Amino acid sequence: MTSTPLLSNFFAGRWQDGTGNGSTLLDPVLGTSLVRVSSAGLNLAEGFAFAREQGGAALRALTYKQRAALLGDIVKVLQANRDAYYEIATANCGTTNKDSAVDIDGAIFTLGYYTKQGEALGDATLLLDGERIRVAKDPVFQTQHIMSPTRGVALFINAFNFPSWGLWEKAAPALLSGVPVIVKPATATAWLTQRMVKDVVDAGILPAGALSVVCGSSAGLMDQLQPFDVVSFTGSAETARIIRSHPAVAQRSVRCNIEADSLNSALLDPAAAAGDEAFNLLVSEVVREMTVKSGQKCTAIRRIFVPRALFDAAAEAIGAKLAKTTVGNPRNETTRMGALVSREQFDSVTAGIAHLQTEAETLFDGRSAALVDADPSVAACVAPVLLGHRQPMQAKVLHEVEVFGPVATLMAYDSEEQAYELIRRGEGSLVASVYSCDPAFIARAAIALADSHGRVHAISPDVAAMQSGHGNVMPMSLHGGPGRAGGGEELGGLRALGFYHRRSAVQGSTAALDVLMASGAPFKP
């Protein structure tokens, strides 16, 4: 039997250890064992029923304002334990403190945002969607659309790159809606998710059954889902296909949200010149996006589109900045970029770069530089790589393959229309960013790209100092994207509550609707 500590699952209202050896979580820089996880032997039917019945009933008995207060209490607990979360992130995710902040403080910020949004909904227990509409000639018979919390559980199956934010950006709107949560974090980085749930459970904030965590294998979780449950998946397109075709979704109509991979773009204004403000803003943002969390962000820039005349200048400017990125052990203060999440990801990214190189030229490759305080045969560290293609209309792989690391491809375009066409070859992405000093161009680009992107992020000199970042997901803005990005929608302020509510048209007398509407708050996302 191994001496590596086993993390417990909080399920069916109690802490339960899985059986067997489970999976061991590693430090991706040092290669050492940290903790183990196992979900083997859990009575899944019992845990889902407990959450659905006990957790759901207790949450629905509260008003939005009362549930918002619970979120506010969670914020306090997470803030009080922040240091421990940073330590876990350094050890298990291999991230620098700056990169861990995106995950940890990003989660706390999102919870705080939904606390305020929920407070504003006051003492209501349901949401009113739109105004009353006359159904008959006589105005006494009308219809009112209402949104009520679904009487099921929300199952979250999450990706490895955001163990903290990935939980709370989903749990905040779910709990505010009155829907209990069961989270299954990705195994590689499950520790931080488990620890946060443990702190919240230990603080006794939420009613029994409102928040559960299952660490380890996902086997059998989808089988538990019933028609009023929802599942929110974040991860690869391959696993997304399995989730989508599961009988729970395909046959029992379980509502399903998918956030999958994405070939996000950055677009420089055709009127830009080398070294001007728009050009410099693009260069800085590309470098930031390639290196934050070692490029392991679903929103990271993967394809960079510049006017043909600026291709060489952009390659040089981006490469010069990337060359300053020191890579290695995040515990060393001189390290700017830490590790990938695991040695498996190291192999996958290395193979992915080689695959992209079958089409692209290599403009910058930092991988020959020595790592800081890390053994290259052990650490999952990959330095940034900038690839390029001067005829991207002829490329295929570059518009299809997401390499989940510090890698992006610079591409030349000949006309504005061609740039949009190339961007759309990503077949639906989470975000495109546009760099320009010209509001008219930004508006044109936004209209051209909005239908294929969940978010269009426009960076101009007047917002340069305050813009939130291409890859940063802000709770007030929609997150998700059509097509290969999964077709999902998250966040976007109160829009997020829609996933956890059911819409129904209540047709009745004015008198009956008056009574009903007294329990509701207008849904104004």
When the beta carbons of 27 and 261 are compared against ligand NAP, the nearer one is 261
The residues of the shown chain that bind ligand NAP, judged by CB under 6 A, are 157-162, 184, 186-187, 218, 222, 234-236, 239, 242, 259-262, 298, 402, 404, 430, 486
For residues 60 and 177, give the distance between their C-alpha atoms in angstroms, rounded to a whole number.
Answer: 8
When the beta carbons of 56 and 486 are compared against ligand NAP, the nearer one is 486
Which tokens belong to 254? 């379980």
| Residue type at position 406 | P
Quick check: 262 and 271 in contact, CB under 8 A? Answer: no
CB of 454 to ligand NAP, least distance (A): 9
CB of 294 to ligand NAP, least distance (A): 13
For residues 199 and 78, give the distance between their C-alpha atoms in angstroms, rounded to a whole number.
Answer: 8
CB of 494 to ligand NAP, least distance (A): 19
One of 93, 215, 298, 381 is an active-site residue; which one? 298
Give the neighbor-by-neighbor strand order of the sheet with 126-134: 501-509, 141-149, 126-134, 520-522
**Between 64-80 and 190-202, two packed helices, what is the crossing angle to 10 degrees?**
120
| Catalytic residue flag (residue 381) | no
When the beta carbons of 127 and 432 are compared against ligand NAP, the nearer one is 432
CB of 517 to ligand NAP, least distance (A): 36
Secondary element (H or E) of residue 182? strand 181-184
When the beta carbons of 203 and 401 are compared against ligand NAP, the nearer one is 401
Closest residue by beta carbon to ligand NAP: 235
When the beta carbons of 83 and 238 are compared against ligand NAP, the nearer one is 238
Which tokens belong to 115? 């606390």
End-to-end CA distance of the chain: 53
Residue owning tokens 């999102």: 110
One of 93, 215, 256, 259 is an active-site residue; which one? 259
| Catalytic residue flag (residue 400) | no
- What sign results for the dihedral spanned by CA atoms 502, 108, 339, 361? positive
Quick check: 373 and 335 in contact, CB under 8 A? Answer: yes
CB of 368 to ligand NAP, least distance (A): 27
For residues 75 and 70, give the distance between their C-alpha atoms in angstroms, rounded to a whole number.
Answer: 9
Catalytic residues: 259, 298
